[in-house]
Amino acid sequence: MRGRVTAFGSVAVLVAAAGLAAALSAGSTAGQVLYPPPPAGDPVASAAAGAAAEVDLSSRSFVGDVSLTTHRVGLSGTESYTLVYQAPDRSELIPPSPAGGTLITIGDIGYAEDSFSASGRGWFYYKVPRGEPTGARMATVYLEIFLHNPAVVFTPGGYQLVVVTTVPPGQARLPLNGAGEEETVATASLKDGRIASEVVTFHMPRSSSTIRVRYKDFGSAPAIPTPAGAQKAPTLP
């Protein structure tokens, strides 16, 4: 299942963003070793960023131009993707390569594209594993970071949210990231009352990743069809 493996490399970072949202709702640990404590939130900035996120999320569809830059021992580089949102429960992650690897989520079912036969491309379907984004959340999780969050401040670069957490040994989201302090910095740029772009950077003990998303085509994104003829994904040994 080459397509699923290719797409899941980026989904892992999306899951990290979902983990950030969970950490915010549960409370974070201020940094004392690697990072300074995050600044106190600004009620005016928090309200403005939250209202802009609401505008984006109220759209029936949108497209995001996404770039993912990763720095890790043995794995560094930048990948680009197209992210499509279709209310109420569909999202699509499309890599630039024509060789396949598109990932669609509809509710709690994922569809992974792969060139698995001589006849051309095909699709596998599977139950989205627990803890990974389902439905439209794969596309909206970045916006949800700024939704109803009192820790947002305004900076010259835009509306910003800084979270510092401590990951105990054995609980790192990905083992290669390591345990210890992590800092996440999310910055949103607003235009015409909505979030037009976001930059989310994860600083982890052994790696760092930066996601950049530029939103467009609000209300006019292409439809996300249910893949026809999808086969059930095989169970890996």
Please tell me the predicted confidence (pLDDT) of residue 132: 80
User: How many angstroms separate the CA atoms of 82 and 67, rounded?
Assistant: 9
User: How many angstroms separate the CA atoms of 2 and 50, rounded?
Assistant: 38
- 174, 182 contact by CB (below 8 A): no
Along the 237 residues of the chain, how does pLDDT read in single tens digits? Answer: 443 334 444 454 454 555 555 454 444 555 546 777 888 899 999 999 999 999 999 999 999 999 988 887 677 788 888 999 999 999 999 888 755 678 899 999 999 887 555 555 688 899 988 878 889 988 998 899 999 899 999 999 999 999 887 766 555 454 445 456 788 899 999 999 999 999 999 887 777 889 999 999 999 999 999 998 888 887 655
Instruction: Please identify which residue in the block is written with the tokens 């003829």.
Output: 229
Taken in order of first residue, the domains within the chain and their CATH numbers are 2-215 (2.50.20)
Instruction: Please identify which residue in the block is written with the tokens 């003990």.
Output: 205
Show Cβ contacts of residue 138 under 8 Å, excluding neighbours closer than 6 positions.
11, 14, 83, 91, 93, 103, 105
Please tell me the predicted confidence (pLDDT) of residue 8: 44
| Strands 180-191 and 231-232, sheet pairing | unpaired
Q: What does the DSSP 8-state code read for residue 101?
A: -
Q: Select from 196, 189, 227, 159 the least CA-distant residue to 63.
A: 196
pTM for this predicted structure: 0.81
Above pLDDT 90, what percent of the chain?
42
Which residue type sits at 226? Answer: T
